[in-house]
Amino acid sequence: MKDIKFICTKCNKEFPIDKALYRCDVCNEPLEVEEIKEGKIKEGNVLNQTILDRYSEFFPFVNVDNEIGLGEGFTSLVESKELAENLGVGKIYFKNESQNPTWSFKDRGTIAGVQHALKLGYKRIGTVSTGNMAPSVAAYGSKAGLETFVFVSKHIAPEKLNPIAIYNPNLIKVDGDYGSLYYESLKIGKENNIYFINSDAPFRVEGSKTIAFEICEQLNFNMPDYVVVPTSAGGNIRGIEKGFREFKNCGFIDRVPKIICAQASGCSPIYNAYNNKSETIERFENPNTIAHAIENPFPPSGNETLRIIKKNGGTFVAVSDEEIVECQGILAQSGIFGQPASAVPLAAVRKLKEENYFKGNEKIVCVVTGSGLKYTAAFEKHNLVAMECKIEELSDFIRDEF
């Protein structure tokens, strides 16, 4: 490891980076990897690089094992001129994270976490998740030949369980309070030499920086005004904000975009804290939203997300399930099929435009965090149509009806 430290996001206490550490022993807030002040993007062809390799000067690893990669990152940034016009904003782009190996952005943080675990000599990794993190950690654990532990809730649906089980990890359905499993796993990891790569683990946040790095490269370093991120634990939004900040430190960009924390109103603890002018989040009681990927009622990086987004100058917004489903359909009409959580940024943009937060000429990037195929139950919420016709009548049908 390079001479870089973990730092507490709240009290700035320093910790050594050659240990599996997650939270500050003084204030219990998340740790993060020290901010990078100078670095270059590695030259070469992205077809032959991993994200850890291309942006290696922004990671604390002295050298990188490219063999642990599965082709994560380097996802498309798709502009929709039609949507920009319909919404009444300047430009709108979608960073399509459904193109990752396990169909969500989680793979970026997983490869960074696996790399750290290997550098520290761990033979076992783990995660607590019922969402996209579980298949991601299971896939990368298999690829790296690590023994992998996945803790899920006892009540997980088979539709979600099987896409984890296919990678053959030690998959354990845990009976008990799922909310306390995050903290419990950190203890279990310490006792059993398992490196847990949970939602806001410091290296997960580091992996998410590469979303910002790629957006910068894809826009030729002409910054968007806003980047909208659907937020649950807060790991991804922290990483994206940090990524832009580090590229600004290095002089690649002249400003950090404003980052918008978008939540579902059925589970919006961070938005609520902002709205109530509170500096700390409170547990959101009885969460209920179709956007399951962002349904964490007590996000472990909630307080830090509040701190950084206020400092960044961005804002917080919450949207209803009805708006989410509608925007999932609208997004698909631009060719991008994201899961409900991934339609939240578009719904947020629409709402902020209605509220005149956007004036009409801004350049916006929405992060489409995961694939629509992750949650096929959402199909029922849409009015999906298919026509039928006999083959002999098809030609007439096409001529007459269209």
Residues annotated within the binding site for pyridoxal 5'-phosphate are 132, 369
294 binds, among ligand PLP, Zn ion, none (CB under 5 to 8 A by kind): ligand PLP
104 binds, among Zn ion, ligand PLP, none (CB under 5 to 8 A by kind): ligand PLP
Q: Which is nearer to Zn ion, 13 or 353 (CB)?
A: 13
Q: How far is the CB of 31 from Zn ion (least distance, A)?
A: 8
Instruction: Give me the residues that bind ligand PLP (CB under 6 A), please.
Output: 104, 106, 131-132, 199, 230-237, 293-294, 339, 341-342, 369-370
Q: Give the residue at shortest CB distance from ligand PLP.
A: 370
Q: What is the CA radius of gyration of the chain?
A: 21
289 binds, among Zn ion, ligand PLP, none (CB under 5 to 8 A by kind): none
Residues in the chain: 402
Q: How far is the CB of 273 from ligand PLP (least distance, A)?
A: 15
Q: How far apart are CA 374 and CA 102, in angstroms?
A: 10
Q: Give the tokens for residue 95.
A: 């960073």
Q: Return the amino acid letter for 223.
A: M
Is the torsion defined by CA of 43, 46, 48, 53 positive or negative? positive
Cα 386 to the chain's mean position, in Å? 33
Instruction: Give me the residues that bind Zn ion (CB under 5 A), please.
Output: 8, 10-11, 13, 24, 26-27
DSSP string, 266-298: TB-HHHHHHHTT-SS--PPSS---S-GGG--SS
94 strand-pairing partners: 78, 366
Q: Which is nearer to Zn ion, 6 or 226 (CB)?
A: 6
Q: Which is nearer to ligand PLP, 141 or 239 (CB)?
A: 239
Q: How far is the CB of 290 from ligand PLP (least distance, A)?
A: 12
Q: Which is nearer to ligand PLP, 117 or 205 (CB)?
A: 205
> By C-alpha distance, which of 30, 39, 8, 33 is closest to 18?
33
Q: Which is nearer to ligand PLP, 49 or 210 (CB)?
A: 210
Q: Which is nearer to ligand PLP, 64 or 349 (CB)?
A: 349
106 binds, among Zn ion, ligand PLP, none (CB under 5 to 8 A by kind): ligand PLP
CB-based contact 161:134 (threshold 8 Å):
no
Alpha carbon distances (Å) from 10 to 26, 199, 214, 306: 10, 18, 28, 11
CB-based contact 112:32 (threshold 8 Å):
no
Q: How far is the CB of 56 from ligand PLP (least distance, A)?
A: 23
Q: Give the tokens for residue 315.
A: 């804002």
293 binds, among ligand PLP, Zn ion, none (CB under 5 to 8 A by kind): ligand PLP
272 binds, among ligand PLP, Zn ion, none (CB under 5 to 8 A by kind): none
Q: Give the tokens for residue 136.
A: 């991601």
Q: How far is the CB of 82 from ligand PLP (least distance, A)?
A: 24
75 binds, among ligand PLP, Zn ion, none (CB under 5 to 8 A by kind): none
Q: Which is nearer to Zn ion, 27 or 172 (CB)?
A: 27
Q: How far apart are CA 153 and CA 130, in angstroms?
A: 7
Q: How far is the CB of 85 from ligand PLP (least distance, A)?
A: 27
Q: Which helix (H) or strand (E) holds 141?
A: helix 133-144
Q: Return the amino acid letter for 64.
A: V
